[in-house]
Amino acid sequence: MRFGLGVPTGTEGLMYPVPYADAEQAVRLAVEAERLGFDSVWGNDHVTTQAYVRAEFTEPPRYYDPFAYLSYVAALTRRIRLATAIMVLPFRNPVVAAKQAATLDRLSGGRAVLGVGIGAYREEFTAMNPGVPINRGQHAAEALRALTALFTERRASFRGRWVNFEDVESYPKPVARLPILSGGNAPGSKTRAALYADGWLPACLTPQEAAKGLAEIRAQAEAAGRGPLPADFEVALQVAVCVAPTQEGAWRKFRASQLHTHMVSLSKTTLKDQGVADLAARNLIGTPQSVAERIEEYRAAGVNTLAGLLFAANTVEETLDAMTEFSEVIM
């Protein structure tokens, strides 16, 4: 099992309070993650403040560009993988996104991972493109195919309903195959993982749900003629972490965190098929022993990366303490 840290490229007001991390602190978390033995860091992607965040906080959150942030972190680290979780596909022309990802991969010596999805908050796309219609699921399917073409072909062209470009020679290419992970829990995300991606990046699933989703992806891949999934197909589950001496103490600590508020907000979008009442069963919340047992259940279900781990803390120092404990006691 590999362990990744969710870094605060776009977490203020969502997973963490406002303020939470300035640029220096955000970078420090990634550097410390490598020192503590984490496999990867995962940065999310937001461009403007969501309505419910504006209603909750008087100051706007700071959202950092994930590619600029990860490129800076690349210069300060040597081993850790540098991932997006997720890059919102409708925010960028695929030609620009391919250039950003390939550049990050080159600067980091082949450590980039591209987790992609349609985005949790449609209002952000609408703010960027008022009055512009889009079917985000259809767009995502085209964008994944377009990114693969740009990464692998000498001269790439694509003609679709939502994505179009002609005779693009995009160089340099990634160092090797740059993994693309399809983010999300919805059926469309699993279909895109089965047909076009190198992995699946869901969130807040029980081990049983993760196993069921992976089985669906395997079946769709084989039905489409892609064949068995490759051995290195990554199942990178995003979950929250809250560890305490007792189960009740861990749950109380989690309920008091901004992270709990965020997950409740997602119950209407990204996590709409999951219940709020059973968040403890869908995350790593409990004693060190129970959390270790849950990790083993995820491994048995086919999860090979616990990606973008979000620690139930309201300050950077609290997060660093939780990361250290998780590394020493559980990892």
DSSP 128-191: HSTT----HHHHHHHHHHHHHHHHH-SSEEEE-SS-EEEEE---SPPSS---EEEE-SSHHHHH
Res 261: pLDDT: 86
Question: How high is the pLDDT of residue 276?
Answer: 56
Give residue limits of the domains in the chain.
2-330
Return the SS3 of 301: helix
Predicted confidence (pLDDT) per residue in 120-157, tens digit: 999 999 999 999 999 999 999 999 999 999 999 999 99
Question: Among 4, 8, 59, which residue's Cα sits nearest to residue 314?
Answer: 8
Predicted local distance difference test score (pLDDT) of residue 197: 98
Residue spans of the chain under pLDDT 50? none
For residue 271, what pLDDT is reported? 60
Domain 2-330: assigned CATH number: 3.20.20.30
Q: Tell me what pLDDT residue 154 has.
A: 98
